[in-house]
């Protein structure tokens, strides 16, 4: 199979409902989360968090659309959309924001041309504990 897409263009990554990721996610494309992420999400062109999705960690992306629950800081270079089904427990730094009726934000919102650049560095996710019998080595 031949892939004619440019190397600089990343695809779509999906964390499906019922799936849980423990650790950080780094992507340059679109990330859609319907499940649970316990860790930071960084670098995405667009982050889409579905109604049943949950992120316990910080987010840094170009554009962020939240329909589920976030516990952590959101930093978006361009835009954040808080849908009516969403809950954000943390600060938001972005150039522009849309909050639909019913959306909840418990944290500070900083807006403007340099809000994302002025945001503090996002925290690293804590190391996940290694459970006996599950450690892999090469």
Model confidence pLDDT, tens digit, residues 90-107: 999 999 999 999 999 999
Residue 14 sits at the vertex; the CA angle it makes with 48 and 67, to the nearest 5 degrees, is 25
Average pLDDT on 105-121 reads 86
Average pLDDT on 3-32 reads 83
Q: What gap in Å lies between CA 20 and CA 48, rounded to an integer?
A: 16
- Taking the CA atoms of 129, 43, 27 and 73 in sequence, report the sign of the dihedral they define: positive
Global pTM reads: 0.80
């Amino acid at each position: 199979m031949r892939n004619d897409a440019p190397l600089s263009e990343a695809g779509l990554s999906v964390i499906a409902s019922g799936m849980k990721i423990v650790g950080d996610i780094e992507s340059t494309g679109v990330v859609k989360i319907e499940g649970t992420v316990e860790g930071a999400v960084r670098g995405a062109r667009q982050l889409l968090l579905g109604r049943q999705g949950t992120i316990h960690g910080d987010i840094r992306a170009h554009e962020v659309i939240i329909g589920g629950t976030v516990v952590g800081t959101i930093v978006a270079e361009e835009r954040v959309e808080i849908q009516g089904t969403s809950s954000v427990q943390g600060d938001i730094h972005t150039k522009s924001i849309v909050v639909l009726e019913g959306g909840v934000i418990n944290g500070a919102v900083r807006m403007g041309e340099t809000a994302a650049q002025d945001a503090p560095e996002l925290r690293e996710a804590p190391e996940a504990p290694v459970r006996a019998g599950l450690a892999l080595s090469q």
